[in-house]
Amino acid sequence: MKTVLLLLAMLIPAVFLGCVNSDDYLFDENDARDISIDAFMTESFDTAYTRNKTATICPGDSLIFLTEIYPSKSIRRTRYYWTLDGKPFANEYSFKNTVTEPGSHKIAFVFVDYFGDTLSDTLHLYVATPPSLVTENIIPANNSQEFSPNDIISFAWTADDPDSLWDVFYHFKLQEASSAGQDSSKILVDTVITKTNFSYLGELKPLTKYQWVVSASNELNQSSRDTVYGTLFTAGYAGEGGVQGNLAASSNEVGLKYHLILQDSLEQTVVDKIQESSGFGQAFFSIAPLVPGDYLLKVSLDSYPDFGEVSTHAKVINNKLTLLDTIRLIDNVKTAIRHVSNNDSLDIADTLKFIVKDGGGKVLSSRISVRLESIVIPEIFLDNDTLVVPLNSIGAALNQSWSTRTLIVTTLDMSGNKTTRTFFLRPNSTLPEVIQ
Amino acid sequence: MAGCLLWGCLDIPSDPDTSSLVTSVSIFVEQYGKKDSTYFKINSNDSAAIVAKVHPQKAQKDLQFYWINGGEILDSGSTYLIYIKEYPFVPDSLVIVDKEGNKIGQRIRLIVNAPPTLSPKTVPADGDTIVASRDTPIQFQWKSFDPDYIDHLSHTLVLDGVHYELDDITSIKQSGFGKGKHLFKVIVTDAYGDMDSTRTQSFYVIAPKENN
């Protein structure tokens, strides 16, 4: 009996074992899913910000370090961590941190899966301080005069590269400052160099203003916050001087023609010239060579009498360019508006005509508005200096008017002077007629 | 017994051409009472010595030191004296030989350099008075010389405490000087970092009486 029971006990598990398909437990590579990881750096968790494998920051700037695990961060794993140059850095999937030590750093994300396989992704982070320029320490000092046009001119500036790890480049530009605040200047040198000085060997024009500009950047494309700006002036050939300056008018009109008259101390006109503005009322003038002495400069806009004439004294010094403060011409005169009949009280008509005149520039229909009380009259137009106001364009509002109505004409000239003129429209009907 | 046998097998005899006594050799140059075992730089304007020392020190007396240049023996002894006129015939290697004829060789890379010099005459000269307005450029000029001829010389102009790196520029105009005393100094540096400088000099600026 005992033997039978023993046999049964051995047979039952054997039967169960026989029912199980052992193939189910064999590894099938089709069922396997690859695990991969990806690490990034970004400035913000916002998805609009780009995610990079390489980044450059200033020491102390924060960066966000992110990871993506495929197929999912919830897969079984042993551990994961970040290293900075091989040393422990963090133990999170995503975190915000900074690196303060200047240099090239390798930041690795390491992921050890359930089976002990190690995956890693490496990021490259450059920590660098941008070069800086000391704007006040320059050779030649700003506004230096009397440089001989034939001499070699050497420029020098002072810069700081706190890390001393990166190549620093200087963008040097030398140009003739032929116009005020505009980039139409003639460029003589535009180069990138690695030293903090530059010698210009070419010739320069006599009694001319030149501007030089230096900016710095390192090999990581980090630029200096400041830019060096310097100006210098060349001397004359035979002891002459000159005078330079900027002209500005309150008008925004392009192409203003400034009339410059320069008189010497004997009130003899030495220079009489027209200088056209290059845009928005601004112009730059240079008068040279001149015999040293005292001069009177008169500036006017002949086409626009509203600006009047401005006079200024200029002392011309041997071998120097005298720089005058900006000469500003201001138009305070408003636009003149009158009806063709010269009357303020007008009869109602289909069309009214007004004369609009301004001595400070063109009058534009877009800067004129005409209202019948609160009703804006559309379709007004200018025929030279005649303003045509089609009253019939507002429909039946004036068909039967038993009271005096006001018509308001407003203009804004090119210098911003606003003129408002009110005209009175006589009734063209009586109250009983209107009530009928 | 077996261990001793094994040890005996492992004790490979020295290469007969290598000194078995000396474990290390240190070489330094000595000039102006200063020892230099890093740059091996000698000022060619003065005498110097190259000294070899071996470890262990007790082995030194049983060794022969040969100072070589281009395969030819210049001299023997643990110290090699270099006289001014010998430049540039200086050793490029040292060979140490022991009683058994074992040798140790060591290459020597000496930098024999004459520091640059600046002429004491400058423009402006020390104590000069210059008539200039603030926008008038003042010329600064100096002369530098390098006895080695081939060295690139870099100049630094120190104007009222501000250092301007001027590279090979030896003449430059600067303006912006107000009335009164101003200081300047020039420093010249060669490719090996040797330098010379003028002493700090002064000049005085006075304003022009009449501007035209």
- Cβ of residue A326 closer than 8 Å to a chain B Cβ: no
The alpha carbon of residue B149 is apart from the nearest alpha carbon of chain A, in Å, by 22
**Residues A336, A151: Cα–Cα separation, whole Å:** 57
Contacts 24+ apart (CB under 8 A), A19-27: none
Selected residue with higher pLDDT from A9 and A385: A385
Chain B residue at shortest CA distance from A291: B212
pLDDT at B20: 54
pLDDT at A199: 96
Apex A200 CA angle, A198 and A203, nearest 5: 170
Apex A168 CA angle, A163 and A170, nearest 5: 140
Apex B160 CA angle, B158 and B164, nearest 5: 30
- Per residue in A250-301, pLDDT (tens digit) is 877 777 889 999 999 999 999 999 988 876 778 888 999 999 999 999 999 9
The alpha carbon of residue B176 is apart from the nearest alpha carbon of chain A, in Å, by 6
Summarize the confidence of residues A364-385 as an average pLDDT: 90
Lowest mean pLDDT among A191-205, A207-221, B9-23, B118-132: B9-23
- Cβ of residue B160 closer than 8 Å to a chain A Cβ: no
B contact test, residue of A154, A157, A161, A214 with most B CBs within 10 A? A154
Dmax (CA) of chain A: 151
CB atoms within 10 A of CB B30: 16
Chain A residues in contact with B167 by the CB 8 A cut-off are 195, 197
Chain B residues in contact with A293 by the CB 8 A cut-off are 212
Lowest mean pLDDT among A144-148, B80-84, B122-126: B80-84
Phi, psi of A312, rounded to the nearest 5 degrees: -145, 145
- Cβ of residue A135 closer than 8 Å to a chain B Cβ: no
Provide the H-helix boundaries in chain B.
2-10
First to last CA, chain B: 110
DSSP B59: G
Per 3-state DSSP, chain A is made up of helix, strand and coil in percentages (nearest 5) of 10, 50, 40
Chain B residues in contact with A153 by the CB 8 A cut-off are 173
- Per residue in A2-35, pLDDT (tens digit) is 565 655 566 555 555 555 566 666 767 777 778 8
pLDDT surpasses 80 at A151: yes
**Which ipTM was obtained for this model?**
0.78
Chain B residues in contact with A139 by the CB 8 A cut-off are 157, 164, 172-174
Handedness of CA A149, A154, A157, A163 (dihedral sign): positive
pLDDT at B7: 42
Q: How do strand A54-57 and strand A62-70 relate by DSSP bridges? A: unpaired
pLDDT surpasses 50 at A428: yes
pLDDT surpasses 90 at A422: yes
pLDDT surpasses 50 at A135: yes
pLDDT surpasses 60 at A181: no
Question: Which amino acid appears at position A207 of this protein?
Answer: L
pLDDT surpasses 80 at A243: yes
pLDDT surpasses 70 at B18: no
Selected residue with higher pLDDT from A181 and A233: A233
Handedness of CA A92, A97, A100, A104 (dihedral sign): positive
pLDDT surpasses 50 at B70: yes
User: What would the two tokens of residue A177 be?
Assistant: 């400052």
Look up tokens 């975190």; give the residue.
A95
Contact A51, A66 (CB under 8 A): yes
Chain B residues in contact with A317 by the CB 8 A cut-off are 211-212
- Cβ of residue B169 closer than 8 Å to a chain A Cβ: yes
**Residues A138, A226: Cα–Cα separation, whole Å:** 13
Summarize the confidence of residues B31-53 as an average pLDDT: 90
| Residues forming beta bridges with residue B65, ordered by sequence position | B96
Q: How do strand A168-176 and strand A186-193 relate by DSSP bridges? A: antiparallel
Contact A259, A301 (CB under 8 A): yes
Q: What is the mean pLDDT of chain A?
A: 88
pLDDT surpasses 80 at A121: yes
The minimal CB distance from B165 to the residues A145, A153, A196 is found for: A196
Summarize the confidence of residues B180-206 as an average pLDDT: 95
